[in-house]
Amino acid sequence: MTDNHSLLIAGDLFLTYAESDAPALNGISLTLCPGELCGLIGPNGAGKTTLLSVFTTLLRPQRGSLSIAGIDALDNPAAVRGKIGFVPQDLALYDRLTGLENLGYFGRMYGLPRQQLKEKAKYYLEMFGLYDKRNRQVAAYSGGMKRRINLIIGIIHDPGLLFLDEPTVGIDAQSRHMILEKLAALNHEQMAMIYTSHYLEEVQSLCRRVVIIDEGRIIAEDTPQNLIAQAEGCGSLAEFFLKKTGEQLRE
Amino acid sequence: MSGTKLIISIAKELLLLVRDRAGMALLFVMPAFLVIVITLIQDKVTTTSVNVLFVDIDRGEVGAEIRGLFKRIDTIHLIETLNGEQLSADQAQVLVAASKFQFAVVLPQGLSEATSEAARLTATKNLFPDRREPAGPAVPEILVWFDPTVHGSFRAAVRSALDQVVVGVETRLLVEKSLALLPEKLTADLPPALLQAMPRPVLNAKDLLPQLFGNMTLIPVREQFSTAMGFIKQPTAVQQNVPAWAIFGIFFIVVPLAGSLIKERESGTLMRLKVFPVSYLTIIAGKILAYALVCVIQFAVILLAGMFILPLFGLAAFEPGGQPLPFALMMLSVIAAACGYGVLLGTVGRTYEQIAVFAPVSIVIGAALGGIMVPIYALPDFMRPICLLSPLYWGQSGFYDLLLRAGDLRSILPEAASLLAFGMVTTMAAYLFSTKKSRRP
């Protein structure tokens, strides 16, 4: 779908890093509709993080176009920033602040009024099971709790479009289950998401559409079921992924 | 730049600082401790006398006179006995070689006799050029032992004091011997009638010696401090050291400030904030203002230490002067320069380890060049123009204008403007570096 109803329209994105000869993004075009949950997968070095960096206005590609919520994101990145949410792979938190103080700081940086922020913080802390621990310094949180607060920061302002860069890496099955469950619920409430992960079973169960990129290009794009059905003898997205990208190790 | 977001950023920085209680304690205590220690050291170095071992083998009038003249010099303290026993030359040498003492002066045997004879021969040669006298004994050398670890300035001070003493003895001996020969000279050169008309003291000129040398000081010397604003009180080590080392201490805010920027970059929070609708300038300004507030408190702690703690050690109390506005302007200018430098290092530096080494070393170099460690007038000519480029020099010079040269707001404006400009340029350089780098692949 590439019409005006799309929340994100990326056209022919091309980006090469200064220290590299090979392009990290080599003509990627992608659209995302409101409320859509799209899985973005690929081997290491395929260009996933670079693509997310372009979508989140951290990087400007050398070529191509990008529109987010009807705004030209390449020419006017500042206007886009309040409309998107980003959950980085790093636990980008202040360890010496409490969970609530972290939310307070990042929420105010999004421009949320104090009262609205208070309500949102309570809502999401309860949703992710952190309300009782809200006044504890993040340094004392477990890995799963840190992942959850890291995620809440990305959604505290109720963005229409959320980018998630491996939000469940390094946590236990319970925390992962909770995060996926809540993401599905948020998506149900029309929050569009682009989700990257190396846990392909997560992507298969969570995403209605999957985009596989390799060497800066989209090499497959469809629903998980259709992708699996495309290749003979594949019973899962992981098997399809290996068949499509090869089994040799990537750097 | 949003005012609310700026205030929230400042509050966040302060909260992070407050949570690091040990770090905060160090931030406030260490600069004040530094100022107290350095001021005590500097004060004691300038007012404490130097111990000099004194071995008088000669035991004659020259030795007694040298001893007497040395005792007139406040900065020299002679030690002639150890554990109640008279020192020998060998003992003195061993003690200096072992760094137990730094100087020893040994007056050799026969010094008085040989010096006296040399003076007599010189006076005779001057008054009776045609007279032939047998050569006297060679004057033995006064030996001075120096500890090799003694700095050149100390060695020069002791050597200068010794030279002063030796010249005094030589002058006295030459005058004495000349006066002794004067009646003979007058008898030989003047007609008898004129000689008989001369007053008796002239004919016994030797007796005049105690009167002549009773008061050695012919030309009085008065110390006065030259300032554009006229006479001021005598500056103390406290008044000189507190502002100078306070600036040095304040500049060390660079380390935690740059470190916090690098830590935020490493943790990903800075990158995350770049996806937020907030400018990097707001984030930097929030940091600068929070750390500037810390610096103001640091400065206050240092000044209070100068005013109330240093007197407990017998030093003069620091006097901040009666010009709060220029003083505050200088303080804020120094803080602006230090914070700007910190932000620049935190933006350009790649790792905390880099900054942990580079920042302190660069501040020490800036302090050395800025005249905080060694006065600029004591540096070689080729280094002085470089010194004028050090922000620490600007800071010190501005405070000295206020506190020692009786300056006012107008006299500190060049220094304050230079510091503020340095702060702004470094902050803008950090901002441009960061924004230029941020969206470039």
Top-confidence residue, A23 or B322: A23
Query: Any idea what the Cα angle at residue B322 is, between residues B251 and B310, rounded to 5°?
Result: 55
Contact A101 B275 (CB under 8 A): no
Binning chain A into helix, strand and coil, the percentages to the nearest 5 are: 40, 25, 40
* Nearest-CB residue to A109 (from B20, B271, B273): B273
Contact (Cβ atoms closer than 8 angstroms) between residue B368 and residue B282: no
pLDDT at B52: 86
* Nearest-CB residue to B269 (from A18, A59, A94): A94
Q: What are phi and psi of B60, to 5 degrees?
A: -115, -170
CA distance A154 to A162: 7
Contact B19 A92 (CB under 8 A): no
Confidence of residue A181 (pLDDT cuts 50, 70, 90): very high
Contact (Cβ atoms closer than 8 angstroms) between residue A13 and residue A71: no
Contact (Cβ atoms closer than 8 angstroms) between residue A61 and residue B441: yes
| Residue B18 contacts A, CB cutoff 8 Å | no
Burial of B15 (0-12, 13-18, 19+ CB in 10 A): middle
CA distance B359 to B374: 20
ipTM: 0.89
Contact B15 A59 (CB under 8 A): no
DSSP E strand stretches across B125-251: 143-146
Confidence of residue A38 (pLDDT cuts 50, 70, 90): very high
Cβ-defined contacts of A41-45 (< 8 Å, 24+): A41/A196, A41/A197, A41/A198, A41/A200, A41/A203, A41/A210, A41/A211, A41/A212, A41/A213, A41/A237, A41/A241, A42/A212, A42/A213, A42/A214, A42/A245, A43/A214, A43/A245, A43/A250, A44/A250, A44/A251, A45/A250, A45/A251
Q: Please report residues of A whose CB lies closer than 8 A to that of B256.
A: none
CA distance B392 to B371: 8
pLDDT in tens, A117-137: 999 999 999 999 999 999 999
| Residue B164 contacts A, CB cutoff 8 Å | no
| Residue A60 contacts B, CB cutoff 8 Å | yes
First to last CA, chain A: 34
Using the structure block, give the residue that is written with the tokens 């005779």: B124
Please state, rounded to an integer, the average pLDDT across all residues of chain A. 91
Using the structure block, give the residue that is written with the tokens 């170095």: B45
In CATH terms, the fold of domain B49-214 is abc type-2 transporter like fold (3.40.1710)
Q: Please report residues of A whose CB lies closer than 8 A to that of B274.
A: 57-58
Contact A81 B267 (CB under 8 A): no
Domains in chain B: boundaries: 3-44+232-438, 49-214
Q: Please report residues of A whose CB lies closer than 8 A to that of B3.
A: none
Residue in B closest to A101 by C-alpha: B12
- Asked whether residue A198 carries a pLDDT value surpassing 80, the answer given is yes
CA distance B248 to A173: 53
| Residue B21 contacts A, CB cutoff 8 Å | no
Structure-block tokens of residue B260: 């916090």
Binning chain B into helix, strand and coil, the percentages to the nearest 5 are: 70, 5, 25
Q: Which of residues 153-192 of A touch B (CB under 8 A)?
A: 153
Chain A: nearest CA to B271, how far in angstroms?
8
Chain A: nearest CA to B272, how far in angstroms?
7
CA distance B223 to B246: 28
| Residue A126 contacts B, CB cutoff 8 Å | no
Contact A82 B277 (CB under 8 A): yes
pLDDT at A141: 95
Confidence of residue A1 (pLDDT cuts 50, 70, 90): very low
CA distance A12 to A8: 13
Which residues in chain B land under pLDDT 50?
Answer: 231
pLDDT at A131: 95
Q: Which of residues 264-293 of B touch A (CB under 8 A)?
A: 267-269, 271-279
Residue in A closest to B270 by C-alpha: A92
Residue in B closest to A95 by C-alpha: B16
* Nearest-CB residue to A96 (from B20, B279, B439): B20
Taking residues A86-107, report their average pLDDT: 95
Q: Please report residues of B whose CB lies closer than 8 A to that of A108.
A: 4-5, 8
Q: How far is CA B404 from CA B154, B231, B250, B266, B305, in A?
A: 26, 10, 20, 46, 19
- Asked whether residue A3 carries a pLDDT value surpassing 60, the answer given is no
First to last CA, chain B: 26
- Taking Cα atoms as reference points, which of B257, B242, B218, B171 lies closest to residue B400? B242
Q: Please report residues of B whose CB lies closer than 8 A to that of A77.
A: 439
CB atoms inside a 10 Å sphere around CB B416 = 23
Contact B441 A137 (CB under 8 A): no
CA distance A206 to B101: 82
Helix axes B254-267, B352-369, angle to 10 degrees: 160
pLDDT at B201: 61
Using the structure block, give the residue that is written with the tokens 């709790």: A145
Q: What are phi and psi of B16, to 5 degrees?
A: -65, -40
Contact B277 A93 (CB under 8 A): no
- Asked whether residue A55 carries a pLDDT value surpassing 70, the answer given is yes
Contact (Cβ atoms closer than 8 angstroms) between residue A128 and residue A168: no
